[in-house]
């Protein structure tokens, strides 16, 4: 296998893993929405949007495998994960739309979600770093 082919497979593996982590995050948000968060004004809508966005981007990442993935979709995946983590931190510090939680409650969903979103950001940051190293920081023309 040539180095270029190996990189192509590695990028595809990252996209599959990213899609899987998005599905986990989306499922947790959907589960929490279905089991009580839908009744929390504004927060319920945010959980439904997070779940739908996660499932949609995960599906698009998998569909895009045929054309070596999409940096825009990876950026969208990172934005979803980062947004969820920011919401998590805000809900435990200053509150979100007047809604506050403590610690890793609800358990185990909060921990599963934080781990999936954190892993997704680390994975995509690693791919971006590898790209920067490969290109030497130069822009292609």
| Residue 99 backbone phi and psi in degrees, to 5 | -100, 130
Instruction: Tell me what the mean pLDDT of segment 113-122 comes to.
Output: 98
**How far, in Å, CA of 124 to CA of 121, rounded?**
5
Is the predicted pLDDT of residue 139 greater than 60, yes or no?
no
What does the pLDDT look like over 62-79, one tens digit per residue?
999 877 668 899 999 999
pTM metric for this prediction: 0.87
Compute how many other C-beta atoms are within 10 angstroms of the C-beta atom of residue 68: 11
**How far, in Å, CA of 4 to CA of 58, rounded?**
25
DSSP codes joined into one string, 55-124: HHHHHHHHHGGGGT--HHHHHHHHHHHHHHHHHHHHHHTT-BTTB---TTPSTTHHHHHHHHHHHHHHHH
How high is the pLDDT of residue 56? 98
Is the predicted pLDDT of residue 134 greater than 90, yes or no?
no
* Residue with tokens 């979600």, as numbered in its chain: 113
């Amino acid at each position: 296998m040539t180095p270029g082919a190996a990189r192509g497979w590695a990028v595809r593996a990252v996209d599959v893993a990213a899609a899987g982590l998005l599905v986990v995050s989306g499922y947790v948000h959907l589960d929490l929405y279905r089991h009580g968060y839908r009744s929390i004004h504004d927060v319920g809508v945010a959980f439904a949007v997070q779940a739908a966005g996660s499932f949609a981007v995960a599906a698009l990442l998998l569909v895009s495998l045929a054309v070596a993935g999409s940096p825009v979709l990876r950026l969208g995946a990172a934005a979803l994960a980062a947004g969820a983590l920011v919401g998590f931190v805000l809900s435990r510090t200053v509150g979100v739309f007047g809604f506050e939680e403590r610690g890793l409650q609800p358990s185990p969903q909060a921990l599963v979600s934080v781990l999936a979103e954190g892993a997704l950001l680390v994975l995509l940051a690693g791919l971006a770093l590898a790209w920067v190293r490969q290109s030497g920081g130069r822009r292609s023309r």
